[in-house]
Chain A
Amino acid sequence: MRALTVNRAYAAFRRTAAAQLRHPQSALGTVLVAFFLILALFGRQLAPHPNPNDQSHDARVAPTLDLGALQLGEHPFGTDRLGRDVYSRVILGAGSIFRIAGLGTLISVMLGSALGLFMGYQGGWVDEVIGRVIDALLAIPALLLALVLIGIIRNLDFAAGSWQAALADNVILLVISVLYIPVVARVARSTTLDIKTREFVEAAEIRGESQFYIIFREILPSVIPSLVVEASLRFSYAIFLVASLGFLGFGARPPSPDWGLMVNENRGGFYQLTPWALEFPALAIAVLVIAVNLMSDGIRRAVQKGA
């Protein structure tokens, strides 16, 4: 049974990889996402200044990057008005956006699919009530809900070290989970409705298996493909949201090397002085968002073809 599952997962992985290669744009997206992932994981080793707030004596140095000669120079992306190396800050910024968006996606996919599987399998009034509440919640725009949640939680003061304080520190993670659990639950529910009429589920019911066993061992494996598609889509939205909240000043606090925050700190009058301090983090956001979109497009295509 387990070997079969592993084999099936491997086959699905190969199919996905092959489909990615057939479409050069999704392959490009995947490669770029992998590149940013490496930056996120090994940023400290790769950045010339592992401390993002290292200040050199030369503030407002123009980028020394020379694409023609393939040379990085001392400050490839220049330094900002405080003399911080923009190149190092962009590299180090990959970590926070991947951690928040990735962890948020993971939490919402796990909890959301558990909820959706339960709703879909249970059916009846449980499903009806939760489903209607989810529909209603989805009518509220995500950004509005996020801003209101953050606005309120930031105003609460907690004893330092308490679990509430820890929650308030990770408010964006909480926001992403609250926003995306209903969305994921809806997808998992509709797929479950389709799967639960299949013979193997009926067989398990006749065998007298527990509800937990049927949901997680019989139904879940067939729901996973659509969950993977949804997860990649959620991840791209999460990156978008984290960058936007960072820009609006509701994400990481200064002096963190957060891309959205860096863009916000260097706009307006500062743009005239150090345009590169805004342009490189903005470019990083743009490239990452497009890459994740291309990758998730490829995953969706592969899964739909395989199904």
Chain B
Amino acid sequence: MLHFLRRRFLFFFFTYLISSLTIFFLLRILPGDPARVIAGGREATEEQIAEIREELGLNASLPAQYLSWARDFLRGEWGDTIAFRGAVNRDLIIERSINSARLALVALLLSVPLSLALGVIAGLFENKLPDILISLLTLSVVSLPEFVTGLFLINIVALRWGRSELAQSLGWWFPSSSAVRANASFAEMLPSLWLPAFAATLVMLAYISRLTRAGVIEELKRDYVRTAALKGIAWRTVIWRHVLRNALLPTITVIAISISWLVSGLVVIEYVFGFPGLGSLLIAAIERRDLLLVQAIAMVTVTVILFANLSADVAYALLNPRVELG
């Protein structure tokens, strides 16, 4: 166990190092002057470029530059934004990250129970009608790009059905745009979170439910299930007490994977719905050529993902003593 944890933490730090080196050096190894690129390319004046070179310490050696950049990142000094006047990268990123986390939370609350239920049902009825129907449903949804499902939800569900008399009389209404104030409270934001969260759910649904289905089918074939059934234990008890308990253990890993998927999948969904999250901030930063902001967002995202993966692996190892990860 200790051995596994040590190896896992080592890998975490190594991965973090490689990712940060990648993000750092992307700006440095590419041909061209990084200071000029950051200052905005052709339109930049020589003074601006000199100022940025000074500020970033570009006159130092590469390893020294990397070290000071990494230290600044860990201290939370992520520089000033060029794209959004008067703001500091850190404040901007924290505000948008909170919004993205809210969206991710609603998406997980919708998708995890739903897809677990679907997966368990499909697994218990392997190759029978419910299983086939669920597979068809989830497969046809999963292969669609997020922006196609998102636009479908906006144009068909929010605009067309939402305006029908039936929907109006039921008081059922989804806003077609999620472009809310970036600093709105959770309660204010909630109405506009449902639809993007549902779009994310549709994408995750197939993945989680397929894994759950496979887990249930595998557990059902084990000897202990047959033994329990032959001992005369009610089938219902066998399923609830034994099969599901074992089959649902991998779900922890799945949720962690979903978190890292959510971090990138939400980029497209936030953009489609105009939601002020980290993903739409990234797109805006790239469009407005604010490369320091892009770097900071990339680092924050990678940090979140690596922590999610690490905690999932550790939690899984703690909960399942059989896991022998050498």
For A139, what are the chain B residues with a Cβ–Cβ distance below 8 Å? 15, 19, 260, 302, 305-306, 309
Q: Let me know if A248 and B283 touch, CB within 8 A.
A: yes
Question: Which residues 148-197 in A have Cβ within 8 Å of B in the complex?
Answer: 148-158, 164
Contact at B263–A141, with CB atoms within 8 Å? yes
A282 at the interface (CB under 8 A from B): yes
Interface of A is mostly: helix
Which of B154-200 touch A at CB < 8 Å? Answer: 155
Query: Known contacts being A147-B286, A155-B41, A156-B32, is A247 close to B309, with CB within 8 Å?
Result: no
Determine how close the nearest CB of chain A comes to the CB of B96; give it in whole angstroms.
Answer: 15
B15 (CB) vs chain A CBs: closest residue: A136
Interchain CA distance A156-B33 in the complex, whole Å: 8
- B26 touching A149 by the CB < 8 A rule? yes
B209 to chain A, nearest CB (A): 16
Residues of A within 8 A of B298 (CB): 144, 148
Contact of A290 with B by CB under 8 A: yes
A150 & B42 in contact (Cβ 8 Å cutoff): no
User: A240, B145: Cβ atoms under 8 Å?
Assistant: yes
Is the Cβ of A137 less than 8 Å from the Cβ of B41?
no
Is B294 an interface position by the 8 A CB rule?
yes
- Report yes or no: B30 in contact with A152, Cβ–Cβ below 8 A: yes
A135 on the interface (CB 8 Å rule)?
Answer: yes
Q: Does B267 contact A (CB under 8 A)?
A: yes
Minimal Cβ-Cβ distance residue in A for B136: A25
Q: Which residues of chain B come closer than 8 Å to A141, judged between CB atoms?
A: 260-261, 263-264, 301, 305
The smallest beta-carbon distance between B146 and chain A, in angstroms, is 7
A140 touches B145 (CB 8 A): no
Chain B, interface size: which category? 35 or more
**Interfacial chain A residues near B291, Cβ < 8 Å:** 151-152, 155
**In the complex, are the beta carbons of B286 and A285 less than 8 A apart?**
no
Residues of B within 8 Å of A136, CB to CB, are 14-15, 17-19
Given contacts A147-B267, A267-B151, contact A133 B18 (CB under 8 A): yes
Chain B residue nearest to A282 (CB atoms) is B148
| CA A147 to CA B285, docked complex, whole Å | 10
Interface size range on A against B: 35 or more
- Does A289 interact with chain B (Cβ within 8 Å)? yes
A96 on interface, CB distance cutoff 8 Å = no
Q: Does any Cβ of A come within 8 Å of B61's Cβ?
A: no
Contact A285 B148 (CB under 8 A): yes
Binary CB contact string for chain A from 253 to 272 against chain B (1 if under 8 A, 0 otherwise): 00000001001000100010
A138 to B228, CA, bound (A): 42
Q: Cβ of B23 < 8 Å from any Cβ of A?
A: yes
A118 within 8 A of B: no
Task: Say if the beta carbon of B53 comes within 8 Å of chain A.
Answer: no
Q: Measured between C-beta atoms, what is the minimum distance from B104 to chain A in Å?
A: 14
Assess the A144–B14 pair: CB atoms within 8 A: no
Interface membership of A293, Cβ < 8 A:
yes
Which B residue's beta carbon lies closest to that of A292? Answer: B143
In the complex the two chains form, is B22's CB within 8 Å of A140's CB? yes
Contact call A247/B145, Cβ cutoff below 8 A: yes
**B:202-252 near A, CB below 8 Å:** none
**Nearest-CB residue, chain A, relative to B147:** A247
Instruction: Tell me if B294 and A148 are in contact (CB < 8 A).
Output: yes
Q: Mark B107-151, 1 if CB is under 8 A from A, else 0.
A: 000000000000000000000000000000001100111111001
Q: Does A286 reach chain B (CB closer than 8 Å)?
A: yes
Whether a CB of chain A sits under 8 angstroms from the CB of B326 is no
**A263/B18 in contact, CB under 8 A:** no
Residues of A contacting B146 in the complex (Cβ-Cβ under 8 angstroms):
244
Given the known inter-chain contacts A152-B30, A249-B287, please indicate yes or no for A244 contacting B268, CB distance below 8 A. yes
**Given known contacts A148-B23, A248-B283, A157 and B151 CB-to-CB distance under 8 angstroms:** no
Residue B84 is within 8 A (CB to CB) of chain A in the complex = no
- Bound state CA distance, A249 and B268, in angstroms? 11
Residues of A within 8 A of B301 (CB): 141, 144
Interface centre among B143, B283, B301 (most CB of A within 10 A): B143
A156 neighbours in B (Cβ, 8 Å): 30-32, 37, 41
For B151, list chain A residues within 8 Å (CB).
Answer: 263, 267, 278, 282
CA distance A285 to B17 in the complex (A): 37
Cβ of B271 and Cβ of A142 under 8 Å apart? no
Asked if A275 is an interface residue, CB under 8 A from chain B, the answer is yes
Q: Report how far A7 CA is from B97 CA in the complex, Å.
A: 57
Q: Chain A 226-264, CB within 8 Å of chain B: the 1/0 string?
A: 000000000010001001100111100000000010010
**Cα-based distance from A240 to B203 in the complex (angstroms):** 13
Chain B residues, CB < 8 A from A248: 267-268, 271, 283
12 contacting pairs across A/B (C-beta < 8 A):
A137-B19, A140-B302, A145-B22, A147-B282, A148-B298, A155-B291, A157-B42, A158-B32, A244-B145, A244-B268, A263-B147, A282-B151
> Closest 5 A-B residue pairs measured CB to CB?
A141-B264, A136-B18, A151-B286, A136-B15, A143-B264
Known: A140-B22, A286-B145. 9 other contacts (CB 8 A): A141-B261, A148-B294, A151-B285, A152-B30, A156-B37, A248-B283, A250-B286, A282-B148, A286-B148
Interface residues of A, Cβ cutoff 8 Å to B:
132-133, 135-137, 139-145, 147-158, 164, 236, 240, 243-244, 247-250, 260, 263, 267, 271, 275, 278, 282, 285-286, 289-290, 293
